[in-house]
Amino acid sequence: MKNRFFNPFVGAHFEEGIQGKKVLVVGASFYCPRTECRFYRDCTDRQTRDSSAFNAICPPYAEQSMQLCDEPTYNMECPPQAYRTFAAAMSRYTESSDYNDIWSRMAFTNYVQFFLPKSGKRYGQTLQSDLSERDYAAFNETLQELQPDVVIVWGCVVNHRVKEQNEYLVDRRELDMTEWYVCHLRVPGVDHPIALVNSYHPSSRIWHNDLDAFHRYMDHVLNVSHHKNISYEDCI
C-alpha cells in the first residue's frame, strides 16, 4: 500500500459481516495528546502530515511493542465512547448487543493518515486543511483490499471528498433522494458497487436526534424489513 499509513482493524467475523454484508466504518482522525514527547511536534505536524517516521519509535507504543500504524485495532480494545455508541446503534442488525461481538463483524479505520495534535486552539478538531489527496488514495486502497459492500462514513469533515466530490460516484441524484445519506461507488479494483452511508459522528450531539434517519437508510442498504417506505430509482 503506497499511500496508507494506518492498517484497518478487521473484525474476526468481517467476512460474515452484518446481515450478510461486509461493513467498513471510516472515522475522521486519530489525535496524540502527548505534548511532552520529543517527537510530538514532528509526528503531529499539520504541514508535513506524516507520522510514519515515528511508527516504531514512539516511546509509549515502543514500550509495549506496539506500532502507530496499528492504532485502529488498539482503539477497538480501549474504545472511546463514540465507538460504544455506534455499536449500540448497529446492534439493531445483529443477534447480540455485546460491543466486542458487534465490532467483530465490521472493519474500522480513520480517514486522515497521520496523528493530529490534541492541543492548542484546534484541540480535538479535524479541519479541512488536514485532509490531503494521500488520504483519499489511502481510502481507495482500503476499499480495494477489504472489498466492503457497505462503507459508513462518520461526520461532516471527510465526507465531501468520498461522497459528492468522488469521481467514482455512480449517480449524484441518489444523494438528493436520500437526504445526502446514501450513494454508491464503483471503485476500480472492487468487483461490485459499494453503498456509502454518511452518518453524523457518534460523538456529535446531533447523532441521537438523527438516529431514526440513520436506521432508516441502513435498513434499506442492508435489506432488512424494519422499514420499507424508501423509494428511489436504482442508481447502481
105-157: pLDDT as tens digits: 999 999 999 999 986 555 568 999 999 999 999 999 999 999 999 999 999 99
Tell whether the model's pLDDT for residue 230 goes beyond 50. Answer: no
Tell whether the model's pLDDT for residue 1 goes beyond 80. Answer: no
Helix axes 81-90, 211-222, angle to 10 degrees: 50
d(CA 65, CA 136): 29
pLDDT of the residue at 122: 53
d(CA 46, CA 127): 10
pLDDT of the residue at 79: 86
Q: What is 169-212 written as a DSSP string?
A: BS-HHHHHHTTT-EEEE--TT-SS-EEEEEEPPTTSTHHHHTHH
Residue 26 and residue 112 in contact, taking contact as beta carbons nearer than 8 Å: no
Helix or strand (DSSP H, E) at 32: strand 30-32
Across 172-193, b (16+ Cβ under 10 Å) vs e yields: eebbebbeebbbbbebeebeeb
Q: What type of residue is 67?
A: Q
pLDDT of the residue at 99: 96
Cell digits for 11?
473484525
194-218: pLDDT as tens digits: 999 999 999 999 999 999 999 999 9
Cell digits for 122?
484546534
76-100: pLDDT as tens digits: 988 889 999 999 999 999 989 999 9
pLDDT band at 2 (very low <50, low <70, confident <90, very high): confident
